[in-house]
Structure 1
Amino acid sequence: MASLEELRLQLDEIDDQMVRLYEERMKVCAQVGEYKIKNGKKVLDRQREKNKLQAVSEKASSEFNKKGVRELYEQLMSMSRKLQYQQLVKAGALGRLPFIEMESLDAKNARIVFPGTEGAYSQAATKDYFGENCNSFYVRTFREAMEAIEDGAADYAVLPIENSTAGSVDEMYDLLVEFENYIVGETIIPIIHTLSGVPGAKLTDIERVYSKGVALMQASHFLDDHSDWQQISVANTAIAARKIRDDKDQAQAAVCSAYAAEVHGLEILEENINDDQTNCTRFIVVTNQKVFLKHAQKISICLELPHESGSLYRLLSHFIYNDLNMTRIESRPIEGKNWEYRFFIDFEGNMADPAVKNAIRGLREESRNMRILGNY
């Protein structure tokens, strides 16, 4: 029996041959790519690849090797496609993505909508991004804000999409698919809750506390120390503050920001009642125009995949081969398709970058459906 060292030498010789053959194969693949570019053919030919995988796997001598050969050739064909996508970029065949590059947003003349009411965290995010004196108005719900953009009543909407403790705002992901609106910016603001009541109220007066359900949860440690208080959920922290103002009841208090307390003339009974002192929310800026800022460095997309083994793995490889850093992935159920999911992905890059164009071309061709949500 050969020694371990002798067996490893045999493997090294085989590997040398495999590398040489791989490079020869990629040279031929490059010629195939040139032919496709010249003749306007698509890079991905699903039926051809299906037939090829079936043919090469049948040449293997065991079931184990059949699966291995199939997986090997799936990777070989994936790398061939990536090479051909790069050729398309170099040849200028990808063209421009359907987004217009801008130096900056026209914040001075813009009308901005946010959900909630005066004093909402979304208003604070609006002022943080567009400035203290921006022309803004509020609507009741996220959907109404998206409708205001689509209808032209507003130029931009500022909407929450992720909280550091509560996680993603699932409704926003669904609305981004439903509406033809696009992300052009983002801002992150700290979420610092207070307990606020009408002027003259004291902690010992409080019997009922109002706020958004998530906000009540984020202040659960403080509220649990007052187990005799009734906790009542409302649509928004600022709406809770407005209710306390309007009711003028010293037995009521709101979990809200100091800003909301100031706007609605409330008195802060207890500051900084968050369980997590680092709590913050990421807000996106949305418009109905296909535009992106010149110095944008993050891209959001959503895509649907074939319902088959390995489909997500193959799609994600486009980020690896184009040296793009994926920063986030979320999934949401596809309506009407039980146990099938739509994926939302954030990655670093600008739509003017060749690597981004290359990755997007591959993702678009190899997914069942793909949409760019914005570059910001």
Structure 2
Amino acid sequence: MAPQRAWMETSRDGGGAWLVTAGGRWDLEGAGALSGDLDRVRPDARGAAVRIDLGNLDTLDTVGALLIARLAERLKGEGHAVEVAPIRPEHAPLFEAVRTAAVEPPVRHERAHPIIDMLERTGRATVEALREGVDLLSFLGLMTITMGRILVRPRRLRLTSVMFHIEQTGLNALPILGLLSFLIGVVMAFQGADQLRRFGADIYVVNLLGISILRELGILMTAIIVAGRSGSAFTAQIGTMKVNQEVDAISTLGLDPVELLVVPRALALIVTLPLLAFYADLMGLFGGAVMSYFVLDISFGQFLRQLQFAVGPGALAVGLVKAPVFALVIAMVGCYEGLKVSGSAESVGRLTTKSVVESIFLVMVLDALFSVLFSFLGV
């Protein structure tokens, strides 16, 4: 005898509870027609007990089990005590699996306290920063080991790659660095003249320019510009190679990606950053001299004599000694973030931005540490 089509009826059992009886073929074809009838099942007494009888089912598939499970959950949500019994043993596992999967997890609508939320985000950011710092130290160790291996065997150094990156990071950066340094000198001279003129100390604008540019502003502006220009380029270049699986190909060929991609960039930046800092110092002082000539009537000869009196070679050395350290940090961060690219264009852009922010942050922190150290040493 062929199974009956899906059917459903409601009644009251002997104990006064509502009884929903289902029978026939509760499958995709039969149960779908009864979905509207299930929506209309509403016991007249609030909180009344409801029993769903599935003992008369001939066939039950996922669609039928889902409709019955939704009925049971809706009635429970309306405040009824719902019991699904009896049910055939061959239908019970499917119905339990569907009912468990159909129940959505409770959604918490409670809003966290703003202070707790701020503390949580601060803690998460702190842990992430510490983890990033440990990874950077590990990468620095890997770079150090690779450079030591190259010192032992100098023939492993790729001079062509180093010279190429010296041109890219040094020679090609001269126009933008010179222009910005010149403008910094102009602004410093103008602002200093505006303040010192009130006390008749116009000539001390030269002292202000010499000390600030040679000790701090020259190297700091150079490092920031190089971090935004060359550090981001390192990340984008290596990240694009990661996306194109070129780094994996290098490893497959038995070559060291750190030796091939990282060390030449780091060495090139270590060579070029002191030279760029010296060039930025000259352009900044030249900008200050031009502004002093037009605003304070200080001739170029007077400017040079006062500069020689105000600062000595030590001021220039204080600025330039920071350059190799800043260069190593910028190259390390740029290459490290490039090697972290996961294989998508979105990852390249995100990590390029991150490398610039991290590089500038570390440069500022190191500059502050250098200032404390030089103050302690009386330099």
- Fold-level similarity (TM above 0.5): no
Question: Into which bin does the TM-score normalised by the smaller protein fall?
Answer: under 0.3
Structure in which a larger fraction of residues adopt helix:
2
TM superposition score normalised by structure 1: 0.20
TM-score (norm 2): 0.20
In our comparison, the structure showing a higher alpha carbon Rg is 2
